[in-house]
Structure 1
Amino acid sequence: MAMAAEEIEALITGGIPDARVEITDLAGDGDHYAARVVAESFRGMPRIKQHQAVYAALGGRMGGVLHALQLTTAVPE
């Protein structure tokens, strides 16, 4: 069962309230997404910790319901 882009965005913003999230369906199949997550709360965090925060917000759905996610994280400019 695929996840909707809106559900992915809601999960990320639920776990990272200050995040701005852009989701792109890469294959048009609801299984392969790209996410760009920009959050002030990432400031000072190494990139791996930023990614771990996003994965935590997804609540273990990576690799299961959410098959693939190309992830980019950043802090606001």
Structure 2
Amino acid sequence: MDASEIKHMIEAGLPEAEVAVHSEDGHHFEALVVYEGFKDKSLLERHRMVYETLGDSFKSTLHALAIRTRAPGEG
């Protein structure tokens, strides 16, 4: 799985989200997800929403994903 696949999966699961996924080594990934639906959600709820977009792919092939989330207008 590569950064573009992860990006597309998150975008498919969270329509209208702004998503950026980067990897330095092809094994460890960092995702920034900006999404209106994150408003009034806790950090844990936001992360769960992102993990749900990845489904079983996350468990079977993706081992290291750091997620940063925010709603539009948050710093």
Structure 2 length-normalised TM = 0.90
The answer on 1:35 being equivalent to 2:31 is yes
Alignment length (residue pairs): 73
**Which runs of at least 4 in structure 1 moved beyond 4 Å after TM superposition?**
none
Aligned residue for 2:60, secondary structure, equals coil
| Unaligned segments of structure 2, at least 5 residues | none
The answer on 1:74 being equivalent to 2:70 is yes
Q: CA RMSD in A?
A: 1.0
- For 2:53, the equivalent position in structure 1 comes to 57
2 CA distance for matches of 1:47 and 1:70?
A: 13
| Unaligned segments of structure 1, at least 5 residues | none
- 1:13-54: CA deviations, max 9, x gaps? 00000211111103x2x2110000000011111111000000
The structure carrying a bigger helix percent of its residues is 2
Higher deviation after alignment, 50-59 or 61-70: 61-70
